Structure 1
Amino acid sequence: MAPPAETLTAERILEATEEVLRRHGPAKATVVDVARALGVSHGSVYRHFRTKAALREAVTKRWLDRTSQRLAGIAGATDRDPATRLREWLAALFDAKRHKAGDDPELFATYTVLTDEYGSVVGEHIEDLVTQLTEIVAAGVATGAFTADPRPAARAVFHATGRFHDPGYAREWQRPGVDEEFTAVVDLLLRGLTR
């Protein structure tokens, strides 16, 4: 008797989709490829994701959410002062993006294409990140460490550090001296928030 088949879940489908995208790229990856990788019919995949676009959007969101989830712990860490949290949060964002680009360049290139296709998912991701930054800045204002309107300041910090997390700059992230440049920008931003 054959062992029972593993239950097909949305998460298993997304894992397989990521693998298929890594192998074939976004232009050639199909739902049939995903189903084949899972050993199921493509109809089984469609029961979880009604369209190919819905599947691609979900896998893109999952990829972006990994970064958001990692950063949420830093944003909510009340055991550190807000300036330290802000510095750590920005460093973790830069580190996460740099690792995504450097550790798996094929998948990073794939997601760069997918994020262009699914701008609303990217918009939600950016909104989540700015909300996390707002939480940190608001904590700094509450303690008297920062003197800024939290939401606009958080948005400004996010945009001012774009060179260190926007995928358009990925080629620069391994360049010598980039860490020193990152530190200089963060130091300048922190000085601006404390005045």
Structure 2
Amino acid sequence: MPSTSPTLTAERILEATEEVLRRHGPAKATVVDVARALGVSHGSVYRHFRTKAALREAVTKRWLDRTTGLLAEIAGASGRDAETRLREWLAALFAAKRRKAFDDPELFATYSVLTTETAETVVSEHIADLTGQLTAIVRDGVESGVFTAADPAVAAVAVFRATDRFHDPHYAREWERPGVQDDFDALVDLLLRGLRTR
């Protein structure tokens, strides 16, 4: 009788890995746990991901890419004015990070550990993607005469770094503090005033 279990794909493995990480945390989660959750041998998992580190890197990238994809839609809406897009992009980034931190705190804590482990690769690529999106918005603003920036890429990195407190996981405890939304809005207003053509 043929097997009725679904085909083992990288995506299924990543979904199971996320569940295992949520349950056990990064220190105790193993490839064997992931294989057990899928009902396969750990060798089957290794056929898709050569090492435990590769699996952790892939699941971290998947988690970070959820935010990148959402923000890409805002950045890519070139028919809308750059100032509105920049404000919406920064607000969406802050909201996405807050959701991750507060809707699933166990998984957020797990990913905070994993992003530290993969900082040189996955996190650097994530930051490059985000600053690339910001660069596109700033460049559109310069080209339409709304913003002034000698180098849109440099300005985008400056905006990203200036708003670290509202998206860097190290500041997550502050995101529930009363008044944090007002602080965010005030900073975005200040940044936009600095970018506007005088």
Letter in 2 for 1:155: V
Letter in 1 for 2:173: R
Tell me, yes or no, if structure 1 residue 68 matches structure 2 residue 97. no
Kindly provide the CA deviation profile for residues 92-124 of structure 1, in whole angstroms up to 9, marking residues without a partner as x: 000000000000000000000000000121011
Partner of 1:173: 175
Q: How many residues of Structure 1 are paired with residues of Structure 2 in the alignment?
A: 195
Superposition pairs of residues 142-157 of structure 1, within 5 angstroms = 142-148=143-149, 149-157=151-159
Q: Secondary structure at the match of 2:16?
A: helix
Q: Displacement, 1:45?
A: 0.2
Alignment partners' CA distance in 2, 1:78 and 1:10: 34
Report runs of 4+ in structure 1 exceeding 4 Å deviation.
none
Structure 2 length normalisation: TM-score?
0.97
Alignment partners' CA distance in 2, 1:72 and 1:165: 16
Q: Secondary structure at the match of 1:59?
A: helix
Q: Displacement, 1:5?
A: 1.4
Among the aligned pairs, what percent are the same residue? 77
Alpha-carbon RMSD: 0.9
Kindly provide the CA deviation profile for residues 13-39 of structure 1, in whole angstroms up to 9, marking residues without a partner as x: 000000000000000000000000000
Letter in 1 for 2:44: S
Tell me, yes or no, if structure 1 residue 129 matches structure 2 residue 121. no
Q: Where do 5+ consecutive residues of structure 1 fail to align? A: none
Alignment partners' CA distance in 1, 2:159 and 2:70: 19
Kindly provide the CA deviation profile for residues 107-151 of structure 1, in whole angstroms up to 9, marking residues without a partner as x: 000000000000121011001000000000000000000001201
Q: Displacement, 1:3?
A: 5.7
Letter in 1 for 2:134: L
Q: Secondary structure at the match of 1:173?
A: helix
Q: Secondary structure at the match of 1:80?
A: coil
Superposition pairs of residues 65-104 of structure 1, within 5 angstroms = 65-104=65-104
Letter in 2 for 1:141: V
Q: Displacement, 1:80?
A: 1.5
Q: Secondary structure at the match of 1:90?
A: helix
Alignment partners' CA distance in 2, 1:2 and 1:101: 43
Q: Secondary structure at the match of 2:78?
A: coil
Tell me, yes or no, if structure 1 residue 55 matches structure 2 residue 55. yes
Q: Where do 5+ consecutive residues of structure 2 fail to align? A: none
Alignment partners' CA distance in 1, 2:4 and 2:109: 37
Alignment partners' CA distance in 2, 1:169 and 1:2: 51
